[in-house]
Amino acid sequence: MDALEILSDLENCFPYFQPIFSADEQRVIAYEVLGRYQSEGNIISLGPFFQDDQIPDEYKFEVDLLLVNKALEKALELDEEITIFLNRNAELLMYRNGEPFLQELLAFEKRGLSLKRIVLEISDRNYEGDLDQFDHLLQYYRTYGIKIAIAGINNESLYFERIGQLEPDILKINLQALKSTATGINFNDVLFSLSLLARKIGAALLFENIEMSYQLQFAWKNGGRYYQGFYLHPPSSEFVDRDLLRHRLKEKFHDFISYEKRKLEAVFTTTEYFHASVQEMVVKNKKGGYEELFLILIKEMDQIAFRMYVCDGDGFQKSANIFKSKNGWITQSEYLNKNWSWRPYFLENIIKMRHEQKGILSDLYCDIETGETIRTFSFPMNGNEYLFIDLSYQYLFEHDQLL
């Protein structure tokens, strides 16, 4: 992209606006500002211009400031609660210590545009400058009510430390990774960790690049509050009716809710079934030891489980592992006396079983040893013994509402 051509033809540089929809209101709550340039009748993205390291920062800043000015001028006509997302990489934000950009925003504040409506969508992934100064500038902007969103999060976990340092208001997650089956599992793991981190720091999740219905469902299921992408609405030069997709999103969410309820009902029913079955087997073996109990369990659950063991209330394993190998069930004595209290939710579930005297079916997780997606059924045998039965992926696959 010819930088000089653009700089000598600034009247043909203008903003496009991509609407961002919210889960709670099912309507437009924000717009992301995107740069466009009209050349020979074609409208092209200015993304390559801003990403070109060969173009001097002062050129980029001149074009960016023009786009910001035009975008905010137009934003003055929007409802006061609608937010404006402005993309800023670290180099651009630090240009002249960020002061000219802030002055531009303050000029619009005097005209009635609250800076609480501005979200800086930042990326510092390739920034080679002083991160402490950059972070200080962001905190300075925040004193004016400006919010911070971290962008460019996909299937990488590199941003965890930065997220913890900056504590942004919004985490923007790129759903492009969902298109690749190779990164799908890893992406799910990273996303789960991100959602936990977002909850801890009080950040909202915004999912971008939603291009298909299943991606919208994925975003909704994984705690996304805000959604953006061509499936919902492409960028355009004009604003859209805030309620444009309200009916459609309500229908979609109703379908998603119905689907999740069916899955939750399946988990509840399965838990009840396992509780009744295992309780009956444990009662029958009341006077027997672990070996007798496992023989009964194997007979009844050969096509369901692949691992069984007993722990005490502190997580110390009281029995060996009974494991289903390719050649049948084997005893793994090396697991005797190992402690599992460090595992997430382990002690919480122990206390829950102790008080409710009912079995628990875990959520889906990746087994450390086999690498397969599994669930574990836990059962309180008595006051200080707890039975754990790992359910095979094959069983879950055959009962797909458990996946």
Residue 311 tokens, joined:
């722990």
Please give the average per-residue pLDDT across 81-92, as a whole number: 93
Would you say residue 183 has pLDDT above 60?
no
Provide, rounded to the nearest whole percent, the portion of the chain with pLDDT above 90. 78
Q: What confidence tens digit (pLDDT) does each residue in 221-268 have?
A: 999 999 999 999 999 999 999 999 999 999 999 999 999 999 999 999
What is the predicted pLDDT for the residue at 187?
A: 72
Please give the average per-residue pLDDT across 160-183, as a whole number: 79
DSSP state letters, 55-107? S-HHHHHHHHHHHHHHHHHHHTTS-TT-EEEEEEEHHHHTGGGGHHHHHHHHH
Q: Hey, what CATH topology would domain 3-231 get?
A: TIM Barrel (3.20.20)
Q: What confidence tens digit (pLDDT) does each residue in 10-25 have?
A: 999 999 999 999 999 9
Least confident of 50-59, 153-162, 192-201, 391-400: 153-162
Provide, rounded to the nearest whole percent, the portion of the chain with pLDDT above 70. 95
- One-letter amino acid at 272 equals E
Which CATH superfamily does the domain covering 259-402 fall into? PAS domain (3.30.450.20)
What's the pLDDT band for 157 if we cut at 50, 70, 90?
A: very low
Please give the average per-residue pLDDT across 266-273, as a whole number: 96
What is the predicted pLDDT for the residue at 99?
A: 93
What is the predicted pLDDT for the residue at 125?
A: 64
Would you say residue 1 has pLDDT above 70?
no
Which of 28, 42, 13, 143 has the alpha carbon at shortest distance from 85? 28
Give the three-state DSSP class for 150. Answer: strand
Please give the average per-residue pLDDT across 125-135, as a whole number: 83
Would you say residue 152 has pLDDT above 70?
no
What is the predicted pLDDT for the residue at 147?
A: 97
What is the predicted pLDDT for the residue at 2?
A: 82
Q: What is the DSSP letter of 392?
A: P
Name 124's Cβ contacts closer than 8 Å, sequence gap at least 6: 89, 90, 131, 134, 162
User: How far, in whole angstroms, is CA 57 from its chain's centroid?
Assistant: 33
What is the predicted pLDDT for the residue at 179?
A: 64
Q: What is the DSSP letter of 212?
A: S
| Domains of the chain by residue range | 3-231, 259-402
Given a contact cutoff of 8 angstroms between Cβ atoms, the answer to whether 185 and 145 are in contact is no
Q: What confidence tens digit (pLDDT) does each residue in 293-318 have?
A: 999 999 999 999 999 999 999 999 99
Average pLDDT, the chain: 92
**Rounded-to-integer distance, Cα 160 and Cα 26, Å:** 29
Would you say residue 155 has pLDDT above 50?
no
What's the pLDDT band for 339 if we cut at 50, 70, 90?
A: very high
pTM over 0.85: yes
Would you say residue 156 has pLDDT above 90?
no
- b/e 257-281 (16+ beta carbons within 10 angstroms → b): eeeeeeeeeebeebbeebbebbbeb
